[in-house]
Amino acid sequence: MPGMATKSESPIEFLRKALKKVYMAFIKHNLKYLEELNTINPRLKIQAQEKVTLPIPPWQHILADISKLAAATHAKIQEGVLFSNKAVSEVREFFEGTDELLRHTQDLLLTQNPILRQYILDKVAEYENKMRHFTTEHEERLIKGICLPRSSNLYLALIDAFKDMIWRLGIIAKGCE
């Protein structure tokens, strides 16, 4: 199937490559990386509002979450929306953390290592707590007028997509008992 992982590339490696393209577009504020992403995976052109039906493999759900990241990043770049250094730092942490969790999930699926499983579950809980904390701080910045409404919507869309992706990786890890 075009745009899907090749036989030598695992679904997780494919997802990590897609996530990296969105990350580069976000950090460099450049649509070129999203265009590259669309050439390697037409599935990422789906609208963020598209309903994902069950049953489908968890990788398709995560791919839909990456699509949501791509849509929010595209809007951010297209509209020239800038984030504060704090917001960029928080989003960067989730890009990097999600990539780390994807890599560890791949290892867990191969090894079924209970210590690695627990590490992933602990990281998922840590990121969920950070997301709650960051969104609360973000709401305070919005109330004080430090953050603009459009920036706020895009920031929250990014955090929401990360929340879904990280939750899914936790579910996968819980299934590896």
* Rounded average pLDDT over 8-21: 87
Length of the chain, please? 177
Nearest by Cα to 161 from 31, 74, 37, 79: 74
pLDDT at 53: 39
What's this model's pTM, rounded to 2 decimal places? 0.86
Kindly state the tokens that stand for 109.
């699926």
d(CA 171, CA 149): 33
Domains of the chain: 11-174 (1.20.58)
Q: What residues contact 92, with CB distance under 8 A and at least 6 apart? A: 23, 26, 27
Confidence of residue 165 (pLDDT cuts 50, 70, 90): very high
Of the ranges 13-17, 118-122, 147-151, which is most confident?
118-122
pLDDT of 27-69, one tens digit each? Answer: 999 999 998 887 665 554 443 334 333 344 688 889 999 999 9
d(CA 20, CA 7): 20
